[in-house]
Chain A
């Protein structure tokens, strides 16, 4: 097949051009090996740290001890200036200046200064990050201690508050009891009825009652005596009955006992009745007692009145006391509430864990990809870098090699379509890239990573499209340029531009928005490396990236179209050149230039008889004078020289200056502004030519230079 034949020819040409073979074929392999070794690291570089402290106290020493580990190489300096100077000389990467009297104190603010050499763009940030991390850890340690102290005091306070709460309860209780007592006393006081009205006491009633009682007693006595007499009669009756009844002796005895006891009782009763006489006597005494009582009651009444008055006073005082007790209670409640609030607040503090207070947010940077080597992360970018530069360089060089080869012409003589040649060049580049990528990926797998590239089908698709894009870009460059040197320079420039407007060197986010936007959208390096990273590192599916794939697919097609168009354009250009057209154009340009030179020389040496004589007898010997004169003319004067039938200016230029080209242009222009425009352009060209002529060395000058 023709295309394989073209590819075979291309391979032979590339391999037989030793420099191309070395640079293009082996170059990327060497690069990837070196870069791979460089990036295949799990650790960080040793940082040279210089420090200065005005007074090496304990705090400063504790900080320094944190840094005294493998990743730092420490050096103490005598002064800030010497420490900073060490940065410039490269002895240290970072200079740390501790403050005087470094201690944690309420009245003191401690500032630690870090001096870094930010001219080491890529390194200084990692240095700063590293040291910040270590210092932050130490600061965290201090913060933890202070926070622990605060927490302890808080806990202590909480405990004491809690303890005091029972006292308050006690106070409250006592207060309540006091209040109750007061209420009780108050009630009791109020309940004391010391209202005494002698008239209502009823002494007369008592007297009456006494008298009645006395008479009653007498009546009772009489009744009792009667009753006793009856009882004695009854006993006698019973005794008589018993004697006459058929009762047993025991029963009779029993009955006798009973009758006897009853008789004894009656005897006692009689004796008691006799005592009632005492009672009668007593009633008289009672009346006297009542009288005494009455007088006492009068006295009592008086005293009770006085007591009532005192009671009122006491009631008032009790009320006051109650108020004071209430007030005191309120205060106790208030204190209790405060204590409760404090205790509640303290208890409601949800965060009591010291670690949570000191570091409420713990940043866990969990890599999605669990691997130690940086190479895994840089790999997609490295691959794309290789593809970009080598793809562009190789394809552009291939096209230029073909264009500049003698055989280029013969290809057009053969019945082989343009597309076959384009496809041949494309496939040649793609094949070489495929071989290189296979070697690179194999090396990567064998030497730098044990894992096999996941999502290999997606990765292959992306690599294919990416390689195509950069190959096509290179082919366009190759079509447009004519030498390998300019092709190489242009390829590198294009690659560099695409590289700089990407994330690899500076974050896109730090660039102007429009650059960032378009870079993310259409910079093939950005889009392709992003896709590759997603496929290799994150193992995304096709659907997640289909939009981006469509973009780069569309870009590839657009580039293919451009390649075809540029190829056809260049072919036509080549054939014209081959046919001598372009040489003729160059000759024509040279001829024009030569005639312009002749005109220049002529104008310098024009005899006065051949000058242009104006109607006001001015003599013009060159175009510049002519132009100035025409510009000064008004419409009427201008028409004297130029109208529909004549053009004296053009005549002079044609017949005397013998410049037909300029004359023809002037003949065609009838208006003043057009004529002045044409002459102005001509004058500028002549002035330029004059300057060029002035710069050109003469033969003698050249010889002189060589002799020197």
Chain B
């Protein structure tokens, strides 16, 4: 029996004449990390805002399971609409927006103390949570540093800490790694994982599909206002393409010649596309063994030196781009 914690049911949201969300259906399970992917302007932020109850949809509803009933069976009666249980939603949900939402002139401690108060936490619980979260986020040493003096990554972590101050069961992160450098992004992934390990359900949106692939248990693809598919990254990849991706790096890197030779090989290699990306030859093929064999043969013939070769499923990014093209 699935343990859904949030159900998005036939949600439609319009802004003026434009329909941003069109009959969206989604189930989020307890304890998972769910990623929402989509292009810019596809409605990711709108969906997240609707889930948390900021925006009232024109049609449909968003139901969530009350915190104290999470351990019970998936009985419809345990669910409440987020629009009629505003306070319960706020107590159960934590939200971290794309831009850190904290007071620049307050210290880390003061920010968390303040928001802890707003969640009606008692003094002891508040202090305990602050200590735990500061350590978890790795900003304990900057406890009494004003937020304005923190780096971008630390700000983000503080923001997430403030979102977690009341120990919500559901955490919503909107573009958590936006504006972060790769190193910080990695740290953020690690952090998100740590939070999730403590039992928090996480819903996040991101442009960085590679991180969603790594982080998320499941993802949902939002396209033209619809969730066209929701599932594990592998499920999605398999659903949209049977191809595998061969990435080849050689030197001196006469990829165009290699491509030409592959095209004129006369063998059926089931290659759907070939391209040079980031100084690597990328081949999409449903027959990866045959194609790889042929490519390596050509590389050898041309006296190219092989530097790197990988064979894997295409990334979500690639799937999305393909979808974009199809649409």
Residue in contact with A578 in the complex, picked from B49, B111, B117, CB distance below 8 Å:
B49
A524-547 CB mask vs B (1 if < 8 Å, else 0) is: 000000000000000000000000
Asked if A406 CB lies within 8 Å of chain B CBs, one says yes
Within 8 A of A (CB), among B89-139: 90-91, 93-95, 97, 99-106, 110-111, 114-115, 117-120
**Most chain A C-beta atoms within 10 Å of own C-beta, residue among B102, B118, B162:** B118
Interface segment out of the listed A11-19, A128-136, A493-501, A616-624: A11-19
Asked if B177 CB lies within 8 Å of chain A CBs, one says no
Asked if B224 CB lies within 8 Å of chain A CBs, one says no
A416 to B90, CA, bound (A): 9
A580→B46 contact, CB < 8 A? yes
Asked if B196 CB lies within 8 Å of chain A CBs, one says no
Asked if A245 CB lies within 8 Å of chain B CBs, one says no
Q: A410-B115, A415-B91 are in contact. Are A2 and B105 (CB under 8 A)?
A: no
Per DSSP, are chain A's interface residues mostly helix, strand or loop, or mixed? helix
A407→B49 contact, CB < 8 A? no
B95→A9 contact, CB < 8 A? no
Which residues of the other chain, A, contact B272 by a CB distance below 8 angstroms?
Answer: none
B118→A406 contact, CB < 8 A? no
A584 to B87, CA, bound (A): 29
B105→A17 contact, CB < 8 A? yes
Q: A416-B118, A580-B45 are in contact. Are A407 and B52 (CB under 8 A)?
A: no
B103→A412 contact, CB < 8 A? no
B103→A407 contact, CB < 8 A? yes
A563 to B217, CA, bound (A): 46
Smallest Cβ distance from A361 to chain B, in angstroms?
A: 67
Find the B residue at minimum CB distance from A580. B45
Asked if B72 CB lies within 8 Å of chain A CBs, one says no
B90→A16 contact, CB < 8 A? no
Asked if B55 CB lies within 8 Å of chain A CBs, one says yes
A13→B103 contact, CB < 8 A? yes
A1-27 CB mask vs B (1 if < 8 Å, else 0) is: 010010011001100110000000000
Which residues of the other chain, A, contact B101 by a CB distance below 8 angstroms?
Answer: 406-410
Within 8 A of A (CB), among B140-158: 146
Within 8 A of B (CB), among A388-407: 405-407
Q: A409-B101, A413-B95 are in contact. Are A579 and B118 (CB under 8 A)?
A: no
Q: A580-B45, A584-B18 are in contact. Are A415 and B105 (CB under 8 A)?
A: no
Residue in contact with A12 in the complex, picked from B52, B110, B162, CB distance below 8 Å:
B110
B49→A415 contact, CB < 8 A? no
B119→A415 contact, CB < 8 A? yes
**Most chain B C-beta atoms within 10 Å of own C-beta, residue among A405, A581, A584:** A581
A473-494 CB mask vs B (1 if < 8 Å, else 0) is: 0000000000000000000000
Which residues of the other chain, B, contact A412 by a CB distance below 8 angstroms?
Answer: 54
A707 to B305, CA, bound (A): 51
B146→A579 contact, CB < 8 A? no
Find the A residue at minimum CB distance from B18. A584
A415 to B111, CA, bound (A): 16
Smallest Cβ distance from B206 to chain A, in angstroms?
A: 16
Within 8 A of A (CB), among B230-256: none
Q: A2-B120, A415-B118, A415-B120 are in contact. Are A579 and B54 (CB under 8 A)?
A: yes
A102 to B118, CA, bound (A): 85
Which residues of the other chain, A, contact B99 by a CB distance below 8 angstroms?
Answer: 406
A579→B105 contact, CB < 8 A? no
Asked if A688 CB lies within 8 Å of chain B CBs, one says no
Q: A406-B101, A414-B115 are in contact. Are A579 and B45 (CB under 8 A)?
A: yes
Within 8 A of A (CB), among B57-96: 86-87, 90-91, 93-95
Which residues of the other chain, A, contact B100 by a CB distance below 8 angstroms?
Answer: 406
Per DSSP, are chain B's interface residues mostly helix, strand or loop, or mixed? mixed
A59 to B18, CA, bound (A): 93
A578→B54 contact, CB < 8 A? yes
Within 8 A of B (CB), among A1-59: 2, 5, 8-9, 12-13, 16-17
Asked if B266 CB lies within 8 Å of chain A CBs, one says no
Smallest Cβ distance from A457 to chain B, in angstroms?
A: 35
A410→B18 contact, CB < 8 A? no
Q: How many residues of B contact A (CB 8 A)?
A: 38
Which residues of the other chain, B, contact A413 by a CB distance below 8 angstroms?
Answer: 52, 90, 93-95, 163
A9→B54 contact, CB < 8 A? no
A16 to B49, CA, bound (A): 33
Smallest Cβ distance from B177 to chain A, in angstroms?
A: 18
B102→A410 contact, CB < 8 A? yes
Asked if A302 CB lies within 8 Å of chain B CBs, one says no
B118→A5 contact, CB < 8 A? yes
Asked if B182 CB lies within 8 Å of chain A CBs, one says no
Asked if A575 CB lies within 8 Å of chain B CBs, one says yes
A415 to B118, CA, bound (A): 7
A12→B105 contact, CB < 8 A? yes
Q: A13-B103, A580-B45, A584-B15 are in contact. Are A409 and B97 (CB under 8 A)?
A: yes
B18→A588 contact, CB < 8 A? yes
Asked if A73 CB lies within 8 Å of chain B CBs, one says no
Smallest Cβ distance from B327 to chain A, in angstroms?
A: 19
Which residues of the other chain, A, contact B41 by a CB distance below 8 angstroms?
Answer: 584
Within 8 A of B (CB), among A339-395: none
B95→A16 contact, CB < 8 A? no
Smallest Cβ distance from A608 to chain B, in angstroms?
A: 36
B104→A406 contact, CB < 8 A? yes
Which residues of the other chain, B, contact A13 by a CB distance below 8 angstroms?
Answer: 103, 105-106
Find the B residue at minimum CB distance from A17. B105
**Most chain A C-beta atoms within 10 Å of own C-beta, residue among B16, B18, B54, B97:** B54
**Most chain A C-beta atoms within 10 Å of own C-beta, residue among B15, B90, B119, B120:** B15
Asked if A411 CB lies within 8 Å of chain B CBs, one says yes
Which residues of the other chain, A, contact B146 by a CB distance below 8 angstroms?
Answer: 16
Asked if A684 CB lies within 8 Å of chain B CBs, one says no
Asked if A103 CB lies within 8 Å of chain B CBs, one says no
Q: A9-B114, A414-B119, A415-B120 are in contact. Are A585 and B97 (CB under 8 A)?
A: no
A575 to B45, CA, bound (A): 12
A9→B18 contact, CB < 8 A? no
**Most chain A C-beta atoms within 10 Å of own C-beta, residue among B18, B93, B115, B163:** B115
Within 8 A of A (CB), among B1-43: 15-16, 18, 20, 41
Find the B residue at minimum CB distance from A16. B105
Find the B residue at minimum CB distance from A587. B41
Within 8 A of A (CB), among B247-300: none
Find the B residue at minimum CB distance from A411. B118
A2→B45 contact, CB < 8 A? no
A567-592 CB mask vs B (1 if < 8 Å, else 0) is: 00000000100111100110010000
A337 to B72, CA, bound (A): 128
Which residues of the other chain, B, contact A584 by a CB distance below 8 angstroms?
Answer: 15-16, 18, 20, 41
Which residues of the other chain, A, contact B93 by a CB distance below 8 angstroms?
Answer: 413
Which residues of the other chain, A, contact B117 by a CB distance below 8 angstroms?
Answer: 2, 5
Find the B residue at minimum CB distance from A420. B118
Residue in contact with A410 in the complex, picked from B55, B104, B105, B162, CB distance below 8 Å:
B162
A5 to B122, CA, bound (A): 13
Which residues of the other chain, B, contact A585 by a CB distance below 8 angstroms?
Answer: 15-16
A9 to B105, CA, bound (A): 10
Which residues of the other chain, A, contact B86 by a CB distance below 8 angstroms?
Answer: 415
Smallest Cβ distance from A29 to chain B, in angstroms?
A: 23
Smallest Cβ distance from A572 to chain B, in angstroms?
A: 10
Smallest Cβ distance from A499 to chain B, in angstroms?
A: 32
Residue in contact with B111 in the complex, picked from A2, A8, A407, CB distance below 8 Å:
A407
Find the A residue at minimum CB distance from B52. A413
B16→A415 contact, CB < 8 A? no
**Additional A-B contacts beyond A410-B115, A413-B95, A588-B16 (12; CB < 8 A):** A2-B118, A9-B103, A406-B102, A408-B101, A410-B97, A410-B101, A413-B90, A415-B119, A578-B97, A579-B55, A580-B46, A584-B15
* A to B CB contacts below 8 Å, 20 in the list: A5-B117, A8-B114, A13-B105, A17-B105, A407-B102, A410-B163, A413-B52, A413-B93, A414-B119, A415-B86, A416-B118, A575-B54, A575-B55, A578-B49, A578-B54, A580-B45, A584-B15, A584-B41, A585-B16, A588-B16
* Shortest Cβ-Cβ A-B pairs, 5 listed: A5-B117, A414-B118, A410-B101, A415-B90, A16-B105
